């Protein structure tokens, strides 16, 4: 089989066979398919699409390209969680210890920030000493000892995804629902969970800008899980404004701890409750009412906070940050973005706030760039808040004062103030199940 013929078939809108997809994935991993041919097929997929069977076959081939975690020695259900990425999305760092404190194991492999969206791994690395790298044996040990782990993606799990994503990133082929679906689910299927809850972000700060696109992606992900025998559901949640009051790394860790201490902003607490409750329900051990009560009890009792301490300690971090935020990286410089007029905050554009954080050094425009763990944005006046001209809306934090001009330009464009309060909109848009 000539690989050029495979490219031509997809170029002409034909469905690829399982052997053709296997040839592509194997070839990307072992180098027998050169980058220029792989990129050509990726572009053909973007333009012509893939049906459900093709997408499932691509996912399965990517899973088979590397190791697969076996967590069968860990008793009980193992529920995974994944978010498609958002601005201020620190929910994983909260729900993992909450769900684990409720007796359900949570294996979590997370990514780094890229562009305007933050990465869970980067946030955790702002905790002094915290190790996100773990071998499969170490990951199993973390799951056995703590009942939860949050680590970076293992290079031996779905290695085809890493190579294919690197090509997509530089060939304008990222925005394809079949390719996005296969990328997400290949990693999740290799992770060893018995059930999976996906948080598909929708709106200004998400990759899926419209509800229609978010629904298509959510359904695609759920169908792949069902074909693979993994109990899967996808929540579609709103991502028009940043989640919570902090965007960055150390500042988000503080906010996570505050939620586990019983505080936190209403939107972040609401989303935490929704995701954690659904994860407990997907475990099969809880119905909706019992799950909600268990989540609340885990936070109110301090058990979830204790579980976070255990995760930090077991992964080499300084657990004293839970009580002393001064042990986290800080910012030497701070400036305020004030309200230009009196009224109500109608909009706080998530993508623009994310780009402001990126300009401050809290994220990376390209893989491999260093980030400033102390940099970020604090939100003084969220959407719906009444302000007077001159009141602080955003606080910009950085260790590089020269970054403020670029960050301020994004931040000012993010803010819209009007005369009447905007209508409240629920965070949860829908739930997709198979």
Please state whether 147 falls in left (phi above 0), alpha (psi between -120 and 50) or beta: left
State pTM to two decimals. 0.93
CA 121 – CA 143 distance, rounded (Å): 17
CA 404 – CA 334 distance, rounded (Å): 9
pLDDT in tens, 147-197: 999 998 888 889 999 899 889 978 989 889 999 999 999 999 999 999 999
pLDDT in tens, 57-100: 999 999 999 999 999 999 999 999 999 989 999 999 999 999 99
Q: For residue 392, which of 341, 348, 338, 334 has the smallest C-alpha distance?
A: 338
Q: Name every residue whose Cβ is closer than 8 Å to that of residue 36 and which is 6 or more positions away in sequence.
A: none
Which domains does the chain show, CATH number per domain? 3-49 (1.20.970.10), 79-324 (3.40.1030.10), 326-418 (3.90.1170.30)
pLDDT in tens, 393-428: 999 999 999 999 999 999 999 999 999 999 999 999
> What's residue 111's pLDDT?
81
CA 293 – CA 72 distance, rounded (Å): 28
pLDDT in tens, 340-351: 999 999 999 999
> What's residue 170's pLDDT?
83
- Catalytic positions, written as ranges: 82, 161, 168, 183, 187
Average pLDDT estimate for 123-133? 96
CA dist list (Å): 76 to 52, 80, 144: 31, 13, 11
Task: Identify the H or E element spanning 334.
Answer: strand 333-338
| Percent over 70 (pLDDT), the chain | 99
CB 362 within 8 A of CB 118: yes
Q: Name every residue whose Cβ is closer than 8 Å to that of residue 49 and which is 6 or more positions away in sequence.
A: 176, 178
What SS3 state is found at 50? coil
What SS3 state is found at 59? helix
Torsion sign over Cα 383, 386, 390, 392: negative
Give the residues across from 45 on adjacent strands: none
Please, how many CA atoms are within 13 Å of residue 250, restricted to the half-sphere of its CB? 21
pLDDT in tens, 324-338: 999 999 999 999 999
| Number of other residues whose CB lies within 10 A of the CB of residue 171 | 16
Alpha helices in 285-432 (DSSP H): 288-300, 303-314, 350-360, 404-414
Alpha helices in 155-265 (DSSP H): 159-170, 177-190, 211-227, 250-260
């Amino acid at each position: 089989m000539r690989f050029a013929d495979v490219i031509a078939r997809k170029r002409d809108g034909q469905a690829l066979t399982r052997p053709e997809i296997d040839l592509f994935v194997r070839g990307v991993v072992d180098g027998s398919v050169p980058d220029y041919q792989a990129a050509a097929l990726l572009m053909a997929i973007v333009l012509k699409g893939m049906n459900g069977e093709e997408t499932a076959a691509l996912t399965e081939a990517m899973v088979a390209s590397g190791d697969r975690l076996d967590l069968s020695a860990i008793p009980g259900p193992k529920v995974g969680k994944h978010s498609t990425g958002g601005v201020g999305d620190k929910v994983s760092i909260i729900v993992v210890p909450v769900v684990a404190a409720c007796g359900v194991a949570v294996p979590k492999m997370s990514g780094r920030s890229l562009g305007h969206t933050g990465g869970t791994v980067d946030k955790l690395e702002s905790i002094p000493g915290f190790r996100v790298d773990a071998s499969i044996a170490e990951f199993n040990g973390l799951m056995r000892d703590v009942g939860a782990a949050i680590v970076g993606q293992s290079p031996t799990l779905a290695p085809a995804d890493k190579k294919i994503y690197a090509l997509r990133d530089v060939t304008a082929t990222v925005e394809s629902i079949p390719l996005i679906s296969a990328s997400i689910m290949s990693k999740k299927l290799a992770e060893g969970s018995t059930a999976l809850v996906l948080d598909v972000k929708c709106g200004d700060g998400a990759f899926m800008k419209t509800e229609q696109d978010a629904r298509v992606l959510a359904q695609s992900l759920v169908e792949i899980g069902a074909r693979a025998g993994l109990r899967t559901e996808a929540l579609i949640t709103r991502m028009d404004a940043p989640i919570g009051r902090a965007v960055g790394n150390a500042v988000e860790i503080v906010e996570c701890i505050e939620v586990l201490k019983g505080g936190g902003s209403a939107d972040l607490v609401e989303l935490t409750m929704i995701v954690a409750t659904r994860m407990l329900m997907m475990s099969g051990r809880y119905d909706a009412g019992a799950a909600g009560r268990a989540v609340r009890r885990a936070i109110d009792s301090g058990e979830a906070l204790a579980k976070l301490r255990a995760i930090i300690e077991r992964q080499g971090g300084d657990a004293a940050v839970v009580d002393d935020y001064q042990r986290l990286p800080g910012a030497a410089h701070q400036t305020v973005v004030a309200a230009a007029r009196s009224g109500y905050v109608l909009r706080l554009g998530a993508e623009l706030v994310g780009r402001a954080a990126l300009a401050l050094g809290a994220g990376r425009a390209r893989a491999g760039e260093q980030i400033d763990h102390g940099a970020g944005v604090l939100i003084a006046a969220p959407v719906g808040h009444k302000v007077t001209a001159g009141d602080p809306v955003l606080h910009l934090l950085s260790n590089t004062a020269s970054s403020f001009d670029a960050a301020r330009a994004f931040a000012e464009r993010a803010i819209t103030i009007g005369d009447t309060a905007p209508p409240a909109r629920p965070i949860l848009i829908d739930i997709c199940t198979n």
